[in-house]
Amino acid sequence: MVVRRRNAPRPHRFSESPLLQLALPSWRSRMAGLVLLGLFAVLVGRAFYLQVVNNEFLQDQGESRYLRDLEVSASRGKILDRHGDLLAISTPMQSIWAIPVDAGKLEPMQVKQLAQLLEMDVKELNRRLASDRNFVYLQRQVPPETAARIAALKLPGIHQSKEFRRFYPAGEMVAHIVGFTGVDDKGLEGVELAFQSDLMGRAGRRSVIRDRRGQIVEDVGGMKPPQDGKDIRLALDSKLQYIAFSAIKEAVAEHQARAAGAVVLDAKTGEILALANWPSYNPNNRASLKGPQLRNRAVTDSFEPGSTLKPFTAALALERGKFRFDSMIDCAPGRITIGTATISDAHPHGLLSVAQVIQKSSNVGTVKMASTFSPREMWEMFDALGFGTPPALGFPGEVGGRLRPWKNWRPIEQATMSYGHGISVSLIQLARAYLVFARDGDLIPLSLLTVAEPLPRGIQIFSPETAREIRTMLEMAAGPGGTAPLAQVPGYRVGGKTGTAHKLEGGVYARKYVASFVGIAPMSDPRFVVAVMVDEPSAGKYYGGTVAGPVFSRIAGGVLRTMGIAPDAPSVQVAADSRKEGVL
């Protein structure tokens, strides 16, 4: 039994400890309460702002986790020739892509199977699947049958989407005029690039909900359907294109030339019926493509046209009344000196009429006609013909050639330009300029597309009488006694002018040549202008009459027969003794 003493001190409870009896000022407790209340009010206000006043932010953040706008591809428009034959068409393909974080669950055997179907190296496939990105393409434009086999594997993280691949049925024959598209179906060359905005169309939109694996759960909202691109119908005639392409390809092989080009124009409408270059390429398979193969030489390359410009000098002489068709010019002794330079004829001549100057391709006679003009008169004629200005067809890399301002011309430069030296043009420019002779002296624009009625009206460069007289001279040049008897077409009257020019390399004329011929057919009612250029023939022949003339004959003959043009002359057998090596 415990006995407590009566006078012993009473023990304190813990809650009654003196240490806990320290009193705080009343204002501090109120301040703490107000701060806590204020913070609570801020939180309530922020919640109200986000959920009521500005709830779009949270809504957008939520939707960004699951809502996707998918692009629905539009089919690129077709490219057709004038008869509706397909030159370019889009075929449906599949792109194979992956979400790397999900595809990381693939087993080694599955990766190997996928690599085999995609024809990829396993290491390269593993490298792409190890990417830290949310999305990675494995391969674009996969054929549908291959894509179906990949889908059958049901591989996690591997997905597909529809796209299109461009196919070119005519292959290398029309490669330079049609061009091609890139992997994203955008035009990179030729008509594909020139008419990109019309061909591409507009992609549609589709809103969907996706889970974290990328699988579509459901469609939400409305769908904006795609607008397919417009079809483009070219003025090109596939049959005539084949004739021109085959002819220049054979010419390059026969003369061991560097390259060649040909253009066929409709003299009535200005339509480009054929435009061919060699070397060419297959736009369906560009794996081993080299730079020179891509060049649309008829449009992007300029060269000195040589004697093909002499008819324009003669036309100006007739138009200004300085000379007549039968005016005589003394070309003896076959050379003329201007300053310190001497200009010579390949074959000396004596007295020649203006018509014979063109028929025999006399440099001396042409220079004497040009000497009666002011530099400004010649420049204005060349400028009106389109020389020095790109043809504005829309092709990438179009050149305007070289036509120096007339104020800077020296007498020797005016003399050489009269017969096609010291000036440069593209083949398409030269072909267009000859339209003034095929027509009644007026020049019309060229067109890649078919031309509907009414036919275009041109700018009058020469009078109809001058154009008719020059046509007679061109027919003489392509006939017996002219520089291009090998350009004749049996059964048809044709005319044209040869050109043989040295090439400039580093500002110096090299022993390399460009052989050319521009002609008109048939002469009784001109329908077509055919221009041919052969670059650096090296098999022993290099004159325009012996190299380019026969190519013109083959192309013009094929065009006339294919188009059903009735013969306008008896069949002509070219005499063996007219096959001269010394023609210009």
- The pLDDT value recorded for residue 575 is 38
- The pLDDT value recorded for residue 60 is 62
pTM of the entire predicted model: 0.80
Residue with tokens 């031309």: 451
* pLDDT(216) > 70: no
Q: Say how far apart CA 395 and CA 299 lie, in whole Å.
A: 8
- The pLDDT value recorded for residue 572 is 44
**Residue 531 sits in the same domain as residue 473:** yes
Residue 463 lies in a domain: yes
CATH number of the structural domain spanning residue 76: 3.90.1310.10
Q: Please give the structure tokens belonging to residue 388.
A: 């020095």
Q: Say how far apart CA 257 and CA 423 lie, in whole Å.
A: 23
Residues in the chain: 584
Domain boundary at 217, 234, 251, which? 234
Q: Are 539 and 256 in contact (CB under 8 A)?
A: yes
Whole domain around residue 547: which residue ranges? 238-578
Q: At 156, is the secondary structure helix, strand, or coil?
A: coil
From the candidates 307, 361, 362, 426, give the one annotated as an active-site residue.
307
- The pLDDT value recorded for residue 94 is 86
**Residue 397 sits in the same domain as residue 431:** yes
**Residue 248 sits in the same domain as residue 387:** yes
Q: Are 174 and 277 in contact (CB under 8 A)?
A: no
pLDDT in tens, 117-138: 988 888 888 888 888 777 788 8
- The pLDDT value recorded for residue 55 is 63
- Residue 288 annotated in active site: no
* pLDDT(9) > 90: no
Domain boundary at 201, 234, 267, which? 234
Tell me which residue of 137, 134, 126, 133 sits closest to 104, measured CA to CA: 126
Q: In this predicted model, which residue has the larger pLDDT, 392 or 465?
A: 465
Q: In this predicted model, which residue has the larger pLDDT, 485 or 224?
A: 485
Residue 137 lies in a domain: no
Q: What is the DSSP string of 160-216?
A: EEEEEEEE-TTGGGGHHHH--B-TTS-B-SHHHHHTHHHHH-B-EEEEEEE-TTS-E
Domain boundary at 234, 252, 276, which? 234
Q: In this predicted model, which residue has the larger pLDDT, 29 or 272?
A: 272
Give the CA dihedral 534, 539, 542, 545, nearest 10 degrees.
-80
* pLDDT(217) > 60: no
* pLDDT(574) > 70: no
Q: Say how far apart CA 438 and CA 446 lie, in whole Å.
A: 14
Q: Which residues contact 435 (CB under 8 A, 6 or more apart)?
A: 265, 267, 270, 443, 444, 458, 529
**Residue 502 sits in the same domain as residue 570:** yes
**Residue 202 sits in the same domain as residue 308:** no
**Residue 378 sits in the same domain as residue 470:** yes
- The pLDDT value recorded for residue 371 is 95
Per-residue confidence band for 17, with pLDDT thresholds at 50, 70 and 90: low
Q: At 533, is the secondary structure helix, strand, or coil?
A: strand
Through-space distance between the first and last CA atoms of the chain, rounded to whole angstroms: 149
Q: How far is CA 462 from CA 318, 383, 520, 523, in A?
A: 9, 13, 17, 18
Per-residue confidence band for 212, with pLDDT thresholds at 50, 70 and 90: low
**Residue 335 sits in the same domain as residue 444:** yes
**Residue 290 sits in the same domain as residue 169:** no
Region 528-550: mean pLDDT is 96
- The pLDDT value recorded for residue 140 is 85
**Residue 280 sits in the same domain as residue 197:** no
**Residue 354 sits in the same domain as residue 410:** yes
Q: At 489, is the secondary structure helix, strand, or coil?
A: strand
Lowest-confidence pick of 2-6, 498-502, 568-572: 2-6
Tell me which residue of 559, 473, 541 sits closest to 245, measured CA to CA: 559
Residue with tokens 């324009």: 312
Give the CA dihedral 35, 39, 45, 47, nearest 10 degrees.
-170
Residue 266 lies in a domain: yes
Tell me which residue of 288, 95, 77, 281 sits closest to 186, measured CA to CA: 77
pLDDT in tens, 237-249: 999 999 999 999 9
Q: At 390, is the secondary structure helix, strand, or coil?
A: coil
pLDDT in tens, 366-411: 999 999 999 999 999 999 999 999 998 888 889 999 999 999 999 9
514 - beta bridge partners?
501, 535
Q: How many domains does the chain have?
A: 2
**Residue 395 sits in the same domain as residue 258:** yes
Region 478-495: mean pLDDT is 95
pLDDT in tens, 411-443: 999 999 999 999 999 999 999 999 999 999 999
Average pLDDT over the chain reads 86
Q: Say how far apart CA 496 and CA 518 lie, in whole Å.
A: 5
Phi, psi dihedrals of residue 403, rounded to the nearest 5°: -140, 100
pLDDT in tens, 508-517: 888 899 999 9
Q: Which residues contact 108 (CB under 8 A, 6 or more apart)?
A: none
Residue 113 lies in a domain: no
**Residue 244 sits in the same domain as residue 226:** no
Residue 120 lies in a domain: no
pLDDT in tens, 313-324: 999 999 999 999
CATH number of the structural domain spanning residue 381: 3.40.710.10
Q: Are 545 and 534 in contact (CB under 8 A)?
A: no
